[in-house]
Amino acid sequence: MSCIKERFWSKVSIKDLNDCWNWIAASKPDGYGVFKLNGKTIPAHRVAYELTNGIIDSTICVCHHCDNRLCCNPAHHFLGTKRENIIDRDNKGRTAIGSRNGRSKLTFDQVNEIRTLYKQGSYLLKELGTKFGVTRVTISNIIKNKYWR
């Protein structure tokens, strides 16, 4: 275990207790650091928490007070359920909605235009989809406020 601790902490830029301790090794495209252990890739912040506080159930999330995805400072982490982690993210305004979502094909202006054109009766759903390069189902979900609320 000492070997694992040394290997892990050597990949963390440790600073003062109040500072973020950034992971300086491999990370996923979503920005979270990853650590390879026994053939498995594990989020680095989770390993940091478990090395400091003990093993936790796999259904429990290690959440960040600091919202720094590379932070491995156990003092910046807290435990929560998946639902609690989502609520924390939403309360901090970190939900990637609308054009902030990297996969979004539309802008807020386009969504407003879609809603306006539909209300005017100028276009069918399929026609709006073709005009804006998305599916009829996407247009329907925009109109019903399921997307882009």
Q: What is d(CA 67, CA 73) in angstroms, rounded to the nearest whole number? A: 12
What would the pLDDT profile of 84-136 be if each residue is shown by its tens digit? Answer: 988 887 787 665 555 444 456 788 889 889 999 999 998 999 999 999 888 89
- d(CA 149, CA 142) in angstroms, rounded, equals 8
Q: What is the mean pLDDT of residues 22-51?
A: 95
Percent of the chain with pLDDT over 70: 90
Q: What is d(CA 99, CA 49) in angstroms, rounded to the nearest whole number?
A: 33
**pLDDT (0 to 100) of residue 149:** 65
In this prediction, residue 88 carries a pLDDT of 85
Distance CA 59, CA 109 (A): 40
Domains parsed from the chain with CATH numbers: 2-95 (3.90.75), 99-143 (no CATH)
Average pLDDT over residues 53-58: 95
Backbone angles phi, psi at 86, to 5 degrees: -65, -45
Mean of per-residue pLDDT scores for the chain: 88
Residues 6+ apart with CB under 8 A from 2: none
Give the pTM.
0.65
- Average pLDDT for 28-51: 95
Q: E strands of the chain, at which residues?
A: 12-13, 22-23, 34-37, 40-43, 61-64, 77-80
